[in-house]
Amino acid sequence: MSLASERASTATAVSPHPFDPIQPAEITLAVRILEAALPGIPLRYKRIDVNEPVKKDVIPYIEAERLRMPLPPKPTRVLYVMFHRLDTGAFLKALLNADTKSPIFIKELPREVQGPLDTDEVTEIEELCNRHPAVLAEIEKLKLPPGVTVCNDPWMYGTDTPDESRRLFQCFMYIVEVDHPQNNHYSLPCKFSPVFDATTMEFVRMDYLPGGADHQTAETSMWKPVKTIQYAHDLLDEPLRTDLKPYIVQQPEGASFSVDGNFVYWQKWRFRVGFNNREGLVLYNVTYDNRNIVYRLAVSEMTVPYADPRAPYHRKQAFDVGDCGFGVAANQLSLGCDCLGHIKYFDGCRTDAKGNPVTLKNVVCMHEQDNGLQHKHSNYRSDAATVVRNRQLVLQMICTVANYEYIFAYIFDQAANIELEVRATGILSTVPFDNENGATVPWGTNVGPGVMAPYHQHMFSLRIDPAIDGFNNTVYYEDSVPMPEDENNPYLVGYTTEQTVIKKSGTANTDVARHRVFKIRNDNVVNPITYKPVSYKLVTVPSQMLLVNPKAFGFKRAEFATKPIWVTQYRDEELYAAGEFTNQSRKADGVETWVQRNDSTENEDVVLWHTFGLTHNPRIEDFPVMPMEKISVMLRPDGFFTKNPALDVPASAQSFNKSTLHPEPVITSSCCSNISAGSKAKLYKRLD
């Protein structure tokens, strides 16, 4: 079938909503458009996705939806393609008009621009490394016992020189002591690390890793056997706990949400579930009780610089959004493992290297959860109480980036709050370290014999494109400060707030000592009771910013992580805090550049970027798999409504909740003889 005839035949199909994720047929379409435009040239596809629609074209459409007016035409559907020409090795970007099925542009990118890793490429490098003679020669020197093998994790090659234009991978090598699909090779890191060129598929260099606490390296020598610290249940020495009883969430009438494609309606909230290869889960057009709250919400970037000062670890700085992509790293979830209750899953889609669509099944899950009490008051005179529970709607995505896992959950509640909860789990990135003699390093933690986990930071950028009762908003911060000692404050107890409006694009700091609160308001809509513009506050996570020296590449590449708050005037295509191309970048091309425009940001279409993070100095308890560490950011109405918006949530009642009472043991005051035989036996067993 020719492209022309396909155009005709698909014309009657339902066209996607502007915020819908890419469909398999659109990947096929993009490949056909490119192959028609570049006939006969062998291409290798890295990424095919929807290009973000132009906001000014989308707004009339979604406002018509919200106001139930006749819909205007949909904005142009544009597809974004990153690919290589296999004849020249060039790296290209194309934008394609999916409606007219024709290219908008196809351009070759400069030699120093590297696209993100892709799944096929990582597999190719991994296999290349495993069979390369230089690597096999090192493995030979380990003189491994029978059954013990070596594997590798290819890493992006963090920039350490201004003139590198090869596409490089650093492979970290590990000993595989047990042949098991969940063997924890991170427990046994090797002391050599080859570098490969991913374009030419050539071996570049063998790096040797320090063995001790200094920068010294040595020739590879015989491996001294040491047992892997395993996490998989069937590889543990100790038995599993047997005293955990089932805990089942039942929703006999189903969930309280409704879903129509990627459109969700739950408890006065309406929004669209977006998904792309780079950011993964994105929320669009979030309204509450039919009032606009957020235009677009996503984790726009993330960087993980490591503190180990020694080569080649100074190059360990992953950009998990820009270099990898949370979308392509998202776990395909399964029922009953990652959430409880009544679950709805959403799929995503990516291309493979050949341009075939690959469905990413169940990459987002949605379910309700109970989060304890939302509000309660008892009248102490009458003892009459109003108790309302905090039912929440959770949209969750779990990303595996090699050793590590991030769990992102957007949580909506009935009091008009939106929370982003991030859980860090998975396996620490480890390095070899001869610690049998009691050695320690000041930049890491021994987590097992011969293995150390270096300190590192996880720095996230949450991009908030707000729409507080409209698309022109103002960001400001409010500090709580003592009132001066004067006649208005005769008893010296008074305190008040000071407001600072961010009038021009720029940055701001958090300030715990002043209880600094950031708010987004709509100057055009005044609350009839507070007499102040309607607003939402951003409950920030005040965090330590980037520790890397400003002169280092790691700083220049991730300037977004040097300030907690950035405000820019909205521009299409400005989506990613560290810029479009982060892999092997020399400097960022993101918020740090855009704020310099000195745009007006008062009562304008603004974007608020919040950088927050974890300085993660590993605990030994974080190994071999890490109990989650949780951080949470929230958007919370503050003068947006005229009273608690959850007042109309029905009360918590036993008839609805059906809780059960723990049986009381039957015990006389003198002895235990009256305990029923069963419960006594059980009690004794459990207390022993």
Judged on CB neighbours under 10 Å (0-12, 13-18, 19+), 317 is: buried
Beta bridge partners of 219: none
Residue 624 binds a second copy (CB under 8 A):
yes
Residue 426 binds a second copy (CB under 8 A):
yes
Residue 311 binds a second copy (CB under 8 A):
yes
Judged on CB neighbours under 10 Å (0-12, 13-18, 19+), 24 is: middle
Residue 147 binds a second copy (CB under 8 A):
no
Residue 46 C-beta: closest distance to a second copy, Å: 18
User: Does 308 qualify as catalytic in the annotation?
Assistant: no
Residue 239 binds a second copy (CB under 8 A):
yes
Residue 476 binds a second copy (CB under 8 A):
no
Neighbours of 555 (CB within 10 A): 19
Residue 360 binds a second copy (CB under 8 A):
no
Residue with tokens 């590590």: 404
H/E element, 59:
helix 55-66
Residue 526 C-beta: closest distance to a second copy, Å: 10
User: Does 320 qualify as catalytic in the annotation?
Assistant: yes
Closest CB to a second copy among residues 40, 438: 438
Q: Give me the catalytic one of 153, 308, 320, 323.
A: 320
Q: Which of 373, 500, 571, 572 binds a second copy (CB under 8 A)?
A: 373
Residue 140 C-beta: closest distance to a second copy, Å: 23
Site for a second copy in 261-300 (CB under 8 A): 263, 265, 267-268
**Angle made by CA atoms 517, 522, 525, in degrees to the nearest 5:** 130
DSSP 663-682: PPP---SS-STTS-HHHHHH
Residue 586 binds a second copy (CB under 8 A):
no
Residues 660-679 as x/- pattern, contact with a second copy by CB under 8 A: xxxx-x---xx---------
Closest CB to a second copy among residues 47, 557: 557
Go through the chain and tell me how many residues it has: 688
The pairing of strands 357-378 and 444-448 is: unpaired
Closest CB to a second copy among residues 220, 457: 457
Residues 643-662 as x/- pattern, contact with a second copy by CB under 8 A: xxxxxxxxxxxxxxxxxxxx
Neighbours of 175 (CB within 10 A): 23
Site for a second copy in 428-447 (CB under 8 A): 435, 438-440, 442-443, 445-447
Residue 214 C-beta: closest distance to a second copy, Å: 8
Judged on CB neighbours under 10 Å (0-12, 13-18, 19+), 370 is: middle
Q: Give me the catalytic one of 284, 404, 455, 576.
A: 404
Give whole-number Cα distances, 360 to 88, 214, 364, in Å.
31, 44, 10
Residue 198 C-beta: closest distance to a second copy, Å: 18
- How many angstroms separate the CA atoms of 315 and 393, rounded? 39
Residue 640 binds a second copy (CB under 8 A):
yes
Site for a second copy in 592-621 (CB under 8 A): 615, 617, 619-621
Cis amide leading into 624 (omega within 30): yes
Note whether 461 and 444 are within 8 A (CB). Answer: no
Note whether 609 and 565 are within 8 A (CB). Answer: yes
Residue 488 binds a second copy (CB under 8 A):
yes
Site for a second copy in 174-233 (CB under 8 A): 181-183, 215, 229, 231-233
Known catalytic residues are: 320, 404
